[in-house]
Amino acid sequence: MPNRSPVHRPSALPPELPGKQPAELPIELRGWNWGAFFLNWVWGIAHNTPIALLMFVPGVNIVMLFVLGAKGNAWAWANNTWRDVEHFKRTQRLWARVGWGAFIGIPLMFAAMFALVTMLFTSSDAYRLTVDAVRDHPALERRLGLPVEPSTWWTTGNIQTTNDEGWAELSFDVQGPRGDGTVFVYLDKRGGVWTIRQLNVLTEDGERIVLVEPADAI
């Protein structure tokens, strides 16, 4: 029989797993992570980084903001699978944009809401009636001087109306030639007409000037 030499077959190599990266953070990815800083625990859940949940621990959360910003890139790289460095960079840039958007946009949204509420107050008939009552009231001449006008745009309180009925409680700062004060007023609405039921002005030094006294106090 002919002498046959054994056939040597190359051993099967395991296929290369796509998306794996070295555990050590590449030098070009070292730096601050704004997405982790601004979005903290949300970013942590999305990046398999449960330590970000320490944001819910009072006292620790302030420190964690800066820890996440400083360590975010390293934790995101180690705890997730990335196609390559560019994939990581694109993802973290997106998180940074969203974080900056939330940081700027949320306060602006609340400011707009407060401005809208204040505008609704100052444009109401109840507010205008109160300003007219305070402006030239003789009881204010000695302490504040006349005329007395609102000194700021900020107005707090509550207005509730249903059809032609309702009530309102408002408070706002006023200023006259001689001093400042704060108006506190209660009004009710009947038959579509607002009426002041109680109106006081508190001066800077704590003096309470009654302009309209409630009927049950007379």
Q: Tell me: do 90 and 166 sit in the same domain.
A: no
Of 119, 147, 177, the last residue of a domain is 119
Of 100, 119, 138, the last residue of a domain is 119
Q: What is the pLDDT of residues 85-127, one digit of tens each?
A: 999 999 999 999 999 999 999 999 998 988 888 888 899 999 9
Q: Tell me: do 203 and 152 sit in the same domain.
A: yes
* Domain limits for position 105: 27-119
Q: What is the pLDDT of residues 39-74, one digit of tens each?
A: 999 999 999 999 999 999 999 999 999 999 999 999
Q: Tell me: do 42 and 86 sit in the same domain.
A: yes
The rounded distance, in Å, linking the Cα atoms of 6 and 93 is: 57
55 occurs within a structural domain? yes
The CATH number given to whatever domain includes residue 202 is: 3.10.450.320
153 occurs within a structural domain? yes
Instruction: For residue 46, give the H/E element and its range.
Output: helix 34-46
Secondary structure in 3-state letters for 49-95: CHHHHHHHCCCHHHHHHHHHHHHHHHHHHHHCCCCCHHHHHHHHHHH
